[in-house]
Amino acid sequence: MTTTLGELAVRYGCTVQGDPDVPISRVGTLLNAAGEAISFLANPAYRKQLADTSAAAVILSPEDAAQCPVSCLITDNPYALYARVAADLNPSSEAPPGIDDSAVVGADTEIAAGVCISAQVCIGADVRLGQGVFIGPGCVVGDRCELGAGTRLNANVTLCADTRIGARGLLHAGAVLGADGFGIARDGDRWIKVPQLGGVRLGDDVEVGANTAIDRGAIEDTVIGDGVKLDNQVQVGHNVRIGEHTVIAGCVAIAGSATIGKRCMIGGAAAIVGHIELGDDVVVNAFTFVSHSLMHAGVYSGAMPVEQASRWRRNAAHLRHLDKLAKKVQLLEKKLAEIETAGSAGEKDKS
Amino acid sequence: MTTTLGELAVRYGCTVQGDPDVPISRVGTLLNAAGEAISFLANPAYRKQLADTSAAAVILSPEDAAQCPVSCLITDNPYALYARVAADLNPSSEAPPGIDDSAVVGADTEIAAGVCISAQVCIGADVRLGQGVFIGPGCVVGDRCELGAGTRLNANVTLCADTRIGARGLLHAGAVLGADGFGIARDGDRWIKVPQLGGVRLGDDVEVGANTAIDRGAIEDTVIGDGVKLDNQVQVGHNVRIGEHTVIAGCVAIAGSATIGKRCMIGGAAAIVGHIELGDDVVVNAFTFVSHSLMHAGVYSGAMPVEQASRWRRNAAHLRHLDKLAKKVQLLEKKLAEIETAGSAGEKDKS
Amino acid sequence: MTTTLGELAVRYGCTVQGDPDVPISRVGTLLNAAGEAISFLANPAYRKQLADTSAAAVILSPEDAAQCPVSCLITDNPYALYARVAADLNPSSEAPPGIDDSAVVGADTEIAAGVCISAQVCIGADVRLGQGVFIGPGCVVGDRCELGAGTRLNANVTLCADTRIGARGLLHAGAVLGADGFGIARDGDRWIKVPQLGGVRLGDDVEVGANTAIDRGAIEDTVIGDGVKLDNQVQVGHNVRIGEHTVIAGCVAIAGSATIGKRCMIGGAAAIVGHIELGDDVVVNAFTFVSHSLMHAGVYSGAMPVEQASRWRRNAAHLRHLDKLAKKVQLLEKKLAEIETAGSAGEKDKS
């Protein structure tokens, strides 16, 4: 698809600086874009690449426009505009509807118009697939699952029985929804399994990354709200509830029965213990261990700073004696106070 | 299935408080149970929900019985009893035995009575499947694997060659057993592969979570004891040995050749380095990094507390200078001791 | 295969101590080797097992030779030599070339000589498979993928469209290459998807562990250099670049657009934030959070030490008040300086 900078400006109601007739046919990075490629500047870390860009045009914010050596589209949210333009220039190719000969589909399954079921797929009984659903190769869809219109399972995705997904869901390869939660009850020296009887329920516009797992609920459902985006290798325990438009980066572990509010942002490799609550608009930085509820919106951290190993070893040794160090300081304060008192008494004495 | 509170009390040898004829047909949470649902109270965090429950009955401990507004079953271990009752009320539907037309089964494979092999399965040669084994859709079972009676692979599970599983195993979707361990030997600036010649051996009653990986041994087997329960996305390196009835929560990483004792509990997202040993009954809290052997039973921790990011930044800055801080305190102590000595000398002087 | 110690010494140009005619037919551990098994001693932690070994022979370094009770092969790099000998003694059985009847292969796909495509495989269109490529059961290979000669996908591996792998690659079960990167742009209270248009490119001799995910690039490719070894459950974000011969242990999370140099070693469960750079020969210890670029070769750490939980709790409490503690020490220093000044003034006074 080819368009012009001017057409994009009209479509998205933003300002052109430079030549509106510049042809645009693809996207590129500031560093390597060439020919008819449009680039963008959103992360200030890349501002230094702007001066030398060979892009046909750049999408950027008003404050960067003056430094732009080529034509540009000016907007308050360059990254979101870039996302829209990139989608325009790269329309996703629709899979042709139909069921591959190698696929196996269970009884009483309803398949709406435009559904594509790829090779090596296994679909259970009583499943409902909405209009335009795409089931990629190797996927397994268990009994009684429901997939809303336009939802895509890319490849080797597993939906266990009773998983329900809204419209326009996007599940990447290796994702597992609806496996049993980790419900075990101690019984003397052994553990017995607690039946996991709930399901998994995803709202509309939810994205689930590669090899991410969302467990089924123990009694009620595990619930993921509309617009939630989960990156790869995220673990979501049973009975977790994630509010609308919350985003969770890769390798985050969320233990069972945690409740996460709306519009939260959880950084990569963070971990959240079970049975706690995060309020709306809570931001947790990467590699942070959330051990208690955080009810107030705000940014939270807990990761250790990295250092040269030799220096770290010296500092870490003191970590194990912080309590002692604090007590030493307390004692010093007490003694010093006594000396000061004695001193001022002495002063008084002299006077 | 419908029963009564009285029947459950007889079956499990516990006490009814209230009406033994209350019909019970399903389970529910304290908050949402209604009609013929039985609930339970095991975690004190939910005690406040007891007063308002609409459950037909509640399973709880003697100390909570007085506060229960409805009929109840009294037991010292409410969670274990709940697990048993929930299993009674929700008998798992047995898959009909047989081999799906789409499955591929290798030569010299022994298939006992009652085995179900689902669609899109690939089973290698010289495999032995015990009575009632269930192989879910999309699973791959490599050559020479052995699965004990009643073991279930849910969907898209991979057993590499030479994996042996005891009776009543339960493997969730995406689990991978028997992939090569991370054996590489430095050779100048490069790395060469160390052949991984051992297998994986699981005892009876082992549960393996979704997308969990257990590597084959380098020379001897990786060994998981009877009754071990592994949650999702756990990584078990080559030659690891895990003792009986140990439970390991989600996203735990266990490096090669670590040995973990019996009845241990490892919290979520913890990590255990290679070639160390954890004794029996060791409890490691979540997000803890175990860098050395822990031979004595007990509870161990190492996670950083989470804080508001601004406050954390101030505190973390000092972490990098703890050694200096400790030296300052030492110097202060020394100086103060000198002052005190001088002071008492002065005192003596005066006297 | 059976050989003798002397033959191995000739083949690898190293020294025999003892009987060169000892027959060698398999490998074993120092502890359990018997009969015709050769063992090795590379990790000093196992030195104590040498005295009692029943191995036919041991591969070890010159400094350990004197203590060896049996015949031995002496080399400066025992682990690398062991790797070669183990590979000699255990030649991998080649899968017979051919395409299983159950496999589905797309149009215009080029399949070189010696390729094996196993059961339940789905291969897309315009794919190129080099000589001797092995596609294990359940694998999915998307459109336009390219696999170099001798590359193996073990089982249930997913290659999304446009993934290119060099020669002799080894991908373990459940690995996912080319899923969309986590590209989302904030748009008011919601997030919109940023199209992920790049691919994934792996060099030669790359190993990818079970359930590891490598995302496709946003605009350009995600690039993994020659000889890189990734363990299980590693997450590699979009646009990451990993230099040649770098090795990364299990459960490491690498956020988008991070650049990692050559010959780096990243310990298990470490995490690396996005848009930063690690220079060549950087070693990051396990469970370390790398929050900023590390340009200089060296060893870096950041993990907290594990302790008994009760003791940890006391120390951790002070972590939250380190800033206060440091200020107290500063104040003590100031006061003490004043006292010393006053004291010496007093001394002067007296004199």
How far apart CA C347 and CA C351 sit, in angstroms, is: 6
How far apart CA B182 and CA B234 sit, in angstroms, is: 15
Interval A315-348: pLDDT, tens? 888 888 888 898 999 998 898 888 888 777 655 5
C-chain CB neighbours of B305 within 8 Å are 316, 319-320
Confidence tier at C135 by pLDDT (50, 70, 90): very high
Confidence tier at B107 by pLDDT (50, 70, 90): very high
> What token pair was written down for C224?
């993994």
Of A351 and A169, the structure prediction assigns the larger pLDDT to: A169
Across the interface, whether the CB atoms of B209 and A211 are under 8 A apart is answered no
Chain C: nearest CA to B182, how far in angstroms? 6
Interval B160-208: pLDDT, tens? 999 999 999 999 999 999 999 999 999 999 999 999 999 999 999 999 9
* Amino acid symbol at A38: I
For residue C122, what are the contacts with CB-CB under 8 A and spacing of at least 6?
Answer: A102, A118, A119, A120, A137, A138, A155, C103, C104, C139, C140, C141
How far apart CA C99 and CA B336 sit, in angstroms, is: 84
Quote the strand ranges of B122-196, DSSP E.
122-123, 128-129, 134-135, 140-141, 146-147, 152-153, 158-159, 163-165, 170-171, 176-177, 184-187, 190-193
Residue C177, SS3? Answer: strand
The least confident of A52-61, A326-335, B87-96, C334-343 is C334-343
User: Chain B residue with minimal CA distance to C328?
Assistant: B329
Say what angle helices C322-350 and B309-319 make with each other, to 10 degrees: 50
Confidence tier at B113 by pLDDT (50, 70, 90): very high
Of C318 and B187, the structure prediction assigns the larger pLDDT to: B187
Of the residues C117, C122, C350, the best mutation for testing chain A's interface (the one with the most A CB atoms within 10 Å of its CB) is C122
pLDDT at A239: 98
Q: What is the mean pLDDT of residues B210-233?
A: 98
- Annotated catalytic residues of C are 238
* Amino acid symbol at C91: P
Interval C112-130: pLDDT, tens? 999 999 999 999 999 999 9
pLDDT at A240: 98
The residue behind tokens 């897309």 is C124
Q: What is the mean pLDDT of residues A42-64?
A: 95
The least confident of B103-117, B205-219, C3-17, C335-349 is C335-349
Taking 90 as the threshold, does the pLDDT of residue C337 lie above it? Answer: no
How far apart CA A147 and CA C269 sit, in angstroms, is: 34
Q: What per-residue string of b and e applies to C87-104 under the rule 16 or more CB within 10 Å gives b?
A: bbbeeeeebebebeebbb
Q: What is the mean pLDDT of residues A94-108?
A: 94
Across the interface, whether the CB atoms of C275 and A45 are under 8 A apart is answered yes
> What token pair was written down for A317?
């040794």
Confidence tier at B94 by pLDDT (50, 70, 90): confident
Across the interface, whether the CB atoms of A335 and B340 are under 8 A apart is answered yes
C-chain CB neighbours of B326 within 8 Å are none
Which of C140, C183, C294 is closest, CB to CB, to A155? C140
Across the interface, whether the CB atoms of B294 and C306 are under 8 A apart is answered yes
Is A270:A250 a contact under the CB 8 Å cutoff?
Answer: no
Of B326 and C27, the structure prediction assigns the larger pLDDT to: C27
Residue B23, SS3? Answer: strand
pLDDT at B347: 59
How far apart CA A128 and CA B327 sit, in angstroms, is: 69
The residue behind tokens 């509830």 is A241
User: Chain A residue with minimal CA distance to C183?
Assistant: A83
Q: How many CB atoms lie within 10 A of CB C86?
A: 23
pLDDT at C341: 82
Q: What is the mean pLDDT of residues B324-331?
A: 90
Average pLDDT score over chain A: 95
State whether the Cα torsion C105-C195-A37-A52 is positive or negative.
Answer: negative
Which of A104, A195, A342 is closest, CB to CB, to B90? A195
Could you say which of B172, B238, B296, B318 is catalytic?
B238
User: Chain A residue with minimal CA distance to C219?
Assistant: A28
Taking 80 as the threshold, does the pLDDT of residue C94 lie above it? Answer: no
B-chain CB neighbours of C231 within 8 Å are 182, 235
Distances (CA, A) of B136 to B154, C99, C274, C287: 5, 24, 38, 35
For residue A264, what are the contacts with CB-CB under 8 A and spacing of at least 6?
Answer: A242, A243, A246, A247, A248, A278, A280, A281, A282, A283, A284
Residue B144, SS3? Answer: coil
Q: What is the mean pLDDT of residues C84-92?
A: 94
How much of chain C, in percent, has pLDDT values that exceed 90?
87
C-chain CB neighbours of B180 within 8 Å are 170, 172, 207
pTM: 0.96
Task: Tell me, rounded to whole angstroms, the distance of Cα C171 from its chain centroid.
Answer: 13
The residue behind tokens 């979704």 is B210
User: Chain A residue with minimal CA distance to B286?
Assistant: A273
Chain B: nearest CA to C189, how far in angstroms? 22
Which of A86, A249, A308 is closest, CB to CB, to C298? A308
Taking 80 as the threshold, does the pLDDT of residue A136 lie above it? Answer: yes
Taking 60 as the threshold, does the pLDDT of residue B350 lie above it? Answer: no
pLDDT at B157: 98
Across the interface, whether the CB atoms of A287 and C289 are under 8 A apart is answered yes
Distances (CA, A) of C217 to A38, A161, B235, C201, C258: 17, 33, 26, 10, 12
Interval C161-186: pLDDT, tens? 999 999 999 999 999 999 999 999 99
> What token pair was written down for A322?
């912080």
pLDDT at C32: 94
Distances (CA, A) of A91 to A26, A131, C197: 11, 19, 11
Confidence tier at A350 by pLDDT (50, 70, 90): low
Containing B316, the helix (H) or strand (E) segment is helix B309-319
Is C21:C38 a contact under the CB 8 Å cutoff?
Answer: no
Across the interface, whether the CB atoms of C303 and B289 are under 8 A apart is answered yes
> What token pair was written down for C276?
């930063």
Average pLDDT score over chain B: 95
User: Chain A residue with minimal CA distance to B248?
Assistant: A182
pLDDT at A320: 86
pLDDT at C177: 98
User: Number of residue pairs across A and B with CB atoms under 8 Å?
Assistant: 235
User: Chain A residue with minimal CA distance to B153?
Assistant: A179
Confidence tier at C339 by pLDDT (50, 70, 90): confident
For residue C298, what are the contacts with CB-CB under 8 A and spacing of at least 6?
Answer: A308, A309, C281, C282, C283
Chain A: nearest CA to B75, how far in angstroms? 12
pLDDT at A346: 59
pLDDT at B316: 87
Q: What is the mean pLDDT of residues A305-313?
A: 93
For residue B292, what are the contacts with CB-CB under 8 A and spacing of at least 6?
Answer: B273, B276, C306
Interval B14-59: pLDDT, tens? 999 999 999 999 999 999 999 999 999 999 989 999 999 999 999 9
Chain B: nearest CA to C226, how far in angstroms? 10
Q: What is the mean pLDDT of residues C214-229?
A: 98
How far apart CA B120 and CA A140 sit, in angstroms, is: 9
Q: What is the mean pLDDT of residues A287-293?
A: 98
CA angle, C40 then C44 then C47, to 5°: 65
Of A95 and A62, the structure prediction assigns the larger pLDDT to: A62
A-chain CB neighbours of C122 within 8 Å are 102, 118-120, 137-138, 155
Across the interface, whether the CB atoms of C209 and B273 are under 8 A apart is answered no
Taking 70 as the threshold, does the pLDDT of residue C305 lie above it? Answer: yes
Chain C: nearest CA to B62, how far in angstroms? 29
Q: What per-residue string of b and e applies to C143-172 under the rule 16 or more CB within 10 Å gives b?
A: bbbbbbbbbbbbbbbbbbbbbbbbbbbbbb
Average pLDDT score over chain C: 95
Task: Tell me, rounded to whole angstroms, the distance of Cα C271 from its chain centroid.
Answer: 13
pLDDT at A148: 98
How far apart CA C123 and CA C109 sit, in angstroms, is: 8
pLDDT at C342: 78
Chain C: nearest CA to B281, how far in angstroms? 14
User: Chain A residue with minimal CA distance to B287?
Assistant: A289
Taking 90 as the threshold, does the pLDDT of residue B253 lie above it? Answer: yes
C-chain CB neighbours of B184 within 8 Å are 207, 229, 247
B296 has catalytic annotation: no
A-chain CB neighbours of B27 within 8 Å are 197, 219
A-chain CB neighbours of B137 within 8 Å are 104, 122, 140
Across the interface, whether the CB atoms of A306 and C294 are under 8 A apart is answered yes
Taking 70 as the threshold, does the pLDDT of residue C348 lie above it? Answer: no
pLDDT at A349: 58
Q: What is the mean pLDDT of residues A202-217?
A: 98
Which of A82, A231, A309 is closest, CB to CB, to C182? A231
C-chain CB neighbours of A82 within 8 Å are 185, 194
Across the interface, whether the CB atoms of B84 and A192 are under 8 A apart is answered yes
